[in-house]
Amino acid sequence: MTVHIDINCDLGESFGAYTIGNDEEVMKYITSANIACGFHAGDPNTMHATIDLASQHNVAIGAHPGLPDLNGFGRREMNLTQREIYDLMVYQIGALQGFLKAAGVPLHHVKPHGALYNMAANNEAAAEAIARAVAAVSPEAILYGLSGSALIHAGESQGLLTASEVFADRTYESDLSLTPRNQRGAVIQDYNLVITQVMNMVNDGTVRTGIQQETPILAETICIHGDHEQSLAFVKRMSNDLKLKGISVTKAGDFIHRMY
């Protein structure tokens, strides 16, 4: 049986005169792009340009809404009500949908960014607000969330298709949460360790956690961070290595379907 995997990357995170990442090159090696919607990064021109770039490379396009925190790049947690989370999701998804409609391109998925993503991983109220917002404005979109997290469960409860996401360049804690970035070793810098972790998650359904224990994990989409200094080198090699192992690298919508 063929094993399928999607490779996603957070892109469109430049803002005004500031350029972040190498979108033009990274786009050649991924299957889905998470495009910033203006709150943590991105702006109208960048959103438009990134949609055009993704379309040229037949890359699935997703909204990447974050917290309203440009200075902190959306990585600082905020104390928000469910209504506030719901509203900021609807606002940002709607912004990207406007550009997509103008381009005649569908919204493939939604993936929260940064601190919002982490909040939704273990906070059921935040996860429920996010899932309700996606179900309200784009029920056909796939909801990307941390594998085994509250967000995946909330999406399923709302009747959404979900994609369980794993991280190529991040280490894991024993509860399958990501090691906080302020801790040593949170971001993997050695490609050999990256590809070993990826192959274990994709082929074996396991990941080695901080306590050096092999823990079961479902991998349907792999994230490579666009702002990682080695993101281009990593994703180029990883895409090739996965294909050499007979793994089908394709957008999540090609293999994730409703069961009813």
Tokens 């917290």 belong to residue:
67
Domain assignment present for 214: no
- Count other C-beta atoms under 10 Å from residue 240's C-beta: 12
| 140: in domain | yes
* Residue 194 located in a structural domain: no
Structural domain harbouring 117: 4-167+219-226+246-254
Q: In the structure, what pLDDT confidence band is assigned to residue 66 with cuts at 50, 70 and 90? A: very high
Task: Look at residue 77 in the predicted model and tell me its pLDDT.
Answer: 93
Number of domains within the chain? 1
Task: Note whether residue 100 is domain-resident.
Answer: yes
Residue 204 lies in a domain: no
Q: Name the CA radius of gyration of the chain, rounded.
A: 17
Measured over the CA atoms of residue 215, residue 221, residue 227 and residue 229, the dihedral's sign is positive
pTM: 0.95
Q: Would you say residue 189 lies in a domain?
A: no
Three-state SS for 209? strand
Percent share of the chain, pLDDT over 90: 84
pLDDT band (50, 70, 90) for residue 1: confident
Question: Among 14-28, 89-103, 124-138, 216-230, which stretch is predicted with the lowest mean pLDDT?
Answer: 216-230
Is 91 within the bounds of a domain? yes
What average pLDDT score do residues 130-147 get? 98
What DSSP element (H or E) covers 224?
strand 221-224
Q: pLDDT tens digit string along 196-248?
A: 999 999 999 999 997 678 999 999 999 997 666 687 889 999 999 999 999 99
CATH number of the domain within which 107 lies? 3.20.20.370
Is residue 200 assigned to a domain?
no
Instruction: Of 64, 68, 91, 75, give the one whose Cα is nearest residue 223.
Output: 64
In the chain, the amino acid numbered 224 is I
